[in-house]
A and B are shown apart, each in its own frame.
Chain A
Amino acid sequence: MDIGFLAQYLMNGLMLGMIYALVAVGFTLFFGVLDVIKFSHGDVLTVGAFAGLATFLGLEAAGISHPAIQILIVVIVSIVLIAALGAVIARTIVLPIRSAPPLNTLLITLMLGTVLREAVRLFYPQGANPQPFPALLPTNSLTLGNFNLRLDNVIMLVAGVAVIVGTQLLLNRTKLGLAIRAVAQDEETARTMGVNFTLIVLITFALGSGLAAFAGLMNGLYYNEINFGMGLLLGAIGFSSAIVGGLGNIYGAILGGFLFAGLQTIGAVALPFASAYKDVFAFGVIIAIMAWRPTGLIQEKISERV
């Protein structure tokens, strides 16, 4: 296989990895502060992508057609809306049952995901069909042999890296990040130190959901199409990535995201006659990893008091 194809696969893998990592970081953030799995995360992403699309259509209708302004407004509206949605979900659904068995949280958020997914399918105009997503970024490209380097992909990759680094800085360098980490370490101690627990949880959920909205837009821009069911698979992949990386560990989540994308890409390259099996291969490897390392590659520290 020639180098151009490989570069194409690499680029593709990086894009997917970035999207997966953004989703996985959300899972890991939620788990960090509340020890819960919010399985509706993938469908929150879908809502984010559709909110972005609706905003774009609204802008078109209002006659605002400058691409830079369009992308800016689409990104801001989508992220702000979805961050608010995440906080509302945390407030009304996740916090009230946090003392229930963890399984209940998992189930209730799975069901919430179904509600969101079905709501998009039923209530978005023509929501049951895939919707074309506009190319809001410049699509100029540079062709090197078989390799086609598109400018929009480069912009997205850079933006993705910036968002992940920004999140990292927010968590490690700011007072807010300190509060989030304090809550993740030990809720009781954080409370006694004067941290407003509920507020921090809501902010964390808003942050994680905002990341999902960003990932949803990236996904739409990359594939130029979105559909109501996209969040299910992305959510499952993000969840698997966060788990494989070791829940509660942000680097683990990023690692897990790129690992999954890597597996899919390897699946597509290495199984040339059966590249359709790339997802089967990737999920199969995830199951194998769970059998090998039951709490992920970067081990979660579990100490049960007996």
Chain B
Amino acid sequence: MNAARKTKRARAGSPAAARKKKAEAAVMMSAEKLTKRFGGVVALDSLELELRQGEILGLIGPNGSGKTTFFNVVTGIYPANDGHVRFDGADITNASPQSVYHAGIARTFQRSRLSLPLSIFDNIMIGNHARLNQGLWFNLISRAAFKQEFEESFETARELVHIFDAPLADRMFDPVAGLPMIDRRRIEICRALISQPKLLLLDEPSAGMTHEETAQLMDDILEVRGRMEGLSIIIVEHEMGVIERITERCVVLNFGRKIAEGTFKQISNDREVQEAYLGIE
């Protein structure tokens, strides 16, 4: 078990080398002057942000600094008041959540939003919506064709779950309600990854888990990224160990503004960042 973990980590490659390579990669997503107000509260204040293809970006900041709001604006849950979001060459500002998903952005939620009574397989298939035939005729009448698609999707989902946890892959038709938090987080990430998105938004994946469990989950995420060519990730996280381990670059928010940007080392030495976290005026 431990040996397997180690090889996984080794395969993920050295962060420094990866960083160098990514610097030349194309811009995957960018936010320009992105602003979101709730009444008088400015949750995002002219935010500028750029993400390169294949990069893992950490988004950190104190509670209420606008991290989750950023995800919600990008994924179309909240409309932006001002500014633009560009993704993969297209302007997706204020696009509906559906079209953001179809454009290739998938996400997880701060408070795990799985459908608890449904099985593991069902939950993952919800994320696979874009790749499944949604026609009424196909679903209700041509059952042979449906069965073929079902079997193929099942294999894909099983393989993906297998990367995260082999025993879990044998329980694909168990309801999610009976599973511990770590398995739920795994399934949520599988649900986001099954559609092979270009950008994955992870909202506090460590919430509700132990350090040990978080470390495992991060290894798995890195392994999956190794397999999915060009997957970019933005991760919101409070657990600084996680940020240090897996991100290549960090953006720090405070009161909806970007106050620092750089490697974890750079930002953790930044005076303004320390003030924001410690609350020094």
A and B touch in the complex (CB under 8 A): yes
What is A's interface to B at a CB cutoff of 8 Å?
Answer: 305-306
Taking CB atoms, residues of chain B closer than 8 Å to A306 are: 68, 72, 77, 109-110
A-B contact pairs, 6 of them (CB 8 A): A305-B111, A306-B68, A306-B72, A306-B77, A306-B109, A306-B110
State the CA gap A306–B72 with chains docked (Å). Answer: 8
6 A-B pairs with the lowest CB-CB distances in the bound complex, closest first:
A306-B72, A306-B77, A306-B109, A306-B68, A305-B111, A306-B110
Taking CB atoms, residues of chain A closer than 8 Å to B111 are: 305
Which residue of chain A is the closest to B111 with respect to CB atoms?
Answer: A305
Report the interface size for chain B: residues with CB under 8 A from the other chain. 6
Taking CB atoms, residues of chain B closer than 8 Å to A305 are: 111
Taking CB atoms, residues of chain A closer than 8 Å to B72 are: 306
State the CA gap A163–B279 with chains docked (Å). Answer: 51
What is B's interface to A at a CB cutoff of 8 Å?
Answer: 68, 72, 77, 109-111
Taking CB atoms, residues of chain A closer than 8 Å to B77 are: 306
Which residue of chain B is the closest to A303 with respect to CB atoms?
Answer: B38
Taking CB atoms, residues of chain A closer than 8 Å to B110 are: 306
Which residue of chain B is the closest to A301 with respect to CB atoms?
Answer: B39
Chain A nearest CB from B240 CB (Å) reads: 24
Chain A nearest CB from B192 CB (Å) reads: 15
State the CA gap A82–B103 with chains docked (Å). Answer: 58
Which residue of chain A is the closest to B38 with respect to CB atoms?
Answer: A303
Chain B nearest CB from A238 CB (Å) reads: 32
State the CA gap A221–B72 with chains docked (Å). Answer: 55
State the CA gap A250–B110 with chains docked (Å). Answer: 35
Taking CB atoms, residues of chain A closer than 8 Å to B68 are: 306
State the CA gap A210–B24 with chains docked (Å). Answer: 73
State the CA gap A286–B49 with chains docked (Å). Answer: 47
State the CA gap A51–B190 with chains docked (Å). Answer: 60
Chain B nearest CB from A11 CB (Å) reads: 43
Chain A nearest CB from B214 CB (Å) reads: 22
Chain B nearest CB from A237 CB (Å) reads: 34
Chain A nearest CB from B179 CB (Å) reads: 21
Chain B nearest CB from A49 CB (Å) reads: 43
Chain B nearest CB from A193 CB (Å) reads: 23
Chain B nearest CB from A170 CB (Å) reads: 30
Which residue of chain A is the closest to B68 with respect to CB atoms?
Answer: A306
Chain A nearest CB from B236 CB (Å) reads: 12
Which residue of chain A is the closest to B203 with respect to CB atoms?
Answer: A306
State the CA gap A106–B110 with chains docked (Å). Answer: 29
Chain B nearest CB from A304 CB (Å) reads: 9
Which residue of chain A is the closest to B69 with respect to CB atoms?
Answer: A306
Chain B nearest CB from A262 CB (Å) reads: 33
Taking CB atoms, residues of chain A closer than 8 Å to B109 are: 306
Which residue of chain A is the closest to B78 with respect to CB atoms?
Answer: A306
Chain A nearest CB from B107 CB (Å) reads: 10
Chain A nearest CB from B201 CB (Å) reads: 12
State the CA gap A306–B110 with chains docked (Å). Answer: 7
Chain B nearest CB from A303 CB (Å) reads: 8
